[in-house]
Amino acid sequence: MTDEPSDEDWSPPLVMLAVDLVILTVRERTLRILLVERGVPPFAGMLALPGGFLGDEAEDVRLAATRELAEEAGLDATTLHLEQIGAYGAPARDPRGRVISVAYLAIAPRLPDPVPGSDAADARWEPATAVLSGQLPVAFDHREIIADGIEQARAKLEHTTLATAFCHENFTITELQHVYEAVWDLRLDPRNFARKVRRTEGFVAPAGTPRRTGSGRPAQLFQRGEGRVLYPPMTRATTATVTGTPGEETAG
């Protein structure tokens, strides 16, 4: 962050700053992402990530993300998990000019559908696989952002307790398993999974009501433990893909 050496009166170029939100949830045992239909050009009518430009020159970037989370998705940032994915700054990524976008990953428990007539009326929960496969096209470079965000979530499920962010305050081991299965897109053995979860210190803690409705034997309820790091980590099959740096290829 030293200054340019040469010209005395050189001044850095100015760019526009945007935030984009990769909001994930699990519905019908499937990982889903919240997308909105664009109403105006460019890419009018196409699906895109919720997001927008910095509100004013003094707005914090993360605050812009929480604001858009409320405005475009009707979600309360204090409720859900929110972390940064990275910056995307390819010169031609936005036809309106030089736009650098800071992408955020948000994790939400299963929620009611976006209410028609509300701010988030044109928002839809779409299956993640449809976007990743390219079957469902999205605007800008959003497919790349989504891929990075999902990979970040998948990786964090391995060695952090992020999976509990997909659950409500109280949840069963089976519900937690469904999170792993949906995000990783694979099946796990319930017995081994339960053993692993319970033996991992700080992952879950028993919750008040020891039972719950259902069709089989009632399941015990848990809440997130005090730990944030899983040791030893949960392991997904050896099919892991190395995650590049967000927004670009990795050199070297």
Partner DNA sequence: TGCCTTATTGTCCAAGTGACATAAAGGGGC
Partner DNA sequence: GCCCCTTTATGTCACTTGGACAATAAGGCA
Q: Is 24 in the site for a copy of itself (CB under 8 A)?
A: no
Q: Could you say whether residue 40 binds a copy of itself (CB under 8 A)?
A: yes
**244-248 contacts, C-beta under 8 A, 24 or more apart:** 244/148, 245/86, 246/85, 246/86, 246/87, 246/88, 246/103, 246/145, 246/148, 247/86, 247/87, 247/88, 247/89, 247/90, 247/141, 247/144, 247/145, 247/148, 248/90
Closest Cα to residue 31, out of 179, 190, 186? Answer: 179
Residue 168, contacted partner among a copy of itself, DNA, none, CB below 5-8 A by kind: none
116 binds a copy of itself (CB under 8 A): no
Binding span for DNA by CB under 7 A among 6-14, 63-71, 72-80, 216-224? 216-224
Q: Which does 52 bind (CB under 5 to 8 A by kind): a copy of itself, DNA, none?
A: a copy of itself
Figure out which of the listed residues 45, 91, 137, 218 binds DNA, where binding follows CB under 7 A.
Answer: 218
Q: Give min distance, CB of 211 to a copy of itself, in A.
A: 27
151, interface contact from DNA, a copy of itself, none, CB < 5-8 Å by kind: none
Q: Which residues pair with 31 in a beta bridge?
A: 26
> For residues 99 and 91, what is the distance between their CA atoms, to the nearest angstrom?
8
Q: Which residues bind DNA (CB under 7 A)?
A: 172-174, 189-192, 194-196, 198-199, 211, 214-220, 232, 235
